[in-house]
Structure 1
């Protein structure tokens, strides 16, 4: 397994995801979204698994500021996400081509 956890250090669900993999002695790489955002390729890989709208945190402070509630174009939403990682739902967990958004131990348990 090649696990990557994208999130923030303050996010409770991200901490729970890290604990999940630590307890099972599964190595993972943590990427702090405040320091490094997802690349275009990483975002399209995750988007293919979970869908664009599931990546957007409608409760984020910047959600309304960026007018994400009014934008219909997936391309524009994708650009906004690439430039504003604080709008992602976290954690984003990747295992190669597989990905989840949020705390999903029931899915991670099926990964090999």
Structure 2
């Protein structure tokens, strides 16, 4: 199992996800989205695994301008906009190879073990 957790150090659900894997002695790599952006390949892989870009966007994100912009731009520009504005992503994004989840989803992660 090759677990990657994308999120921020301040996100409560991201902290819970890190703790979930640590408690089960499952190695997980944490990627802080404030320090390192998702690559286009990572974003596309995650987007496909979770069923589209709309499942990645946090409707309660604080950056209302970026949130509004992403609703009205073309599909091609949405990926670039998400990479440039990770604060509107719903976190944590937990990836295991081609599988991925958005948010705290321990029931799904149990199936990966």
Which of the pair is proportionally richer in helix?
A: 2
What is the SS of the residue equivalent to 1:89?
coil
Shift in Å at residue 75 of structure 1?
A: 1.8
> What's 2:42 paired with?
42
CA distance in 1, matches of 2:56, 2:48: 11
Deviations 1:64-94 (A, max 9, x none): 3122364163222211101111110000000
Structure 2, gaps ≥5 residues long: none
What is the SS of the residue equivalent to 1:60?
coil
Structure 1, gaps ≥5 residues long: none
> What's 1:84 paired with?
85
TM-score in terms of structure 2 length? 0.92
Structure 1 residue ranges, 4+ long, deviating more than 4 angstroms after superposition:
none
> What's 1:59 paired with?
60
Shift in Å at residue 48 of structure 1?
A: 0.1
> What's 1:104 paired with?
105
TM-score in terms of structure 1 length? 0.93
CA distance in 1, matches of 2:71, 2:43: 21
The answer to whether the Cα contact below 8 Å between 2:4 and 2:31 also exists between their aligned partners in 1 is yes
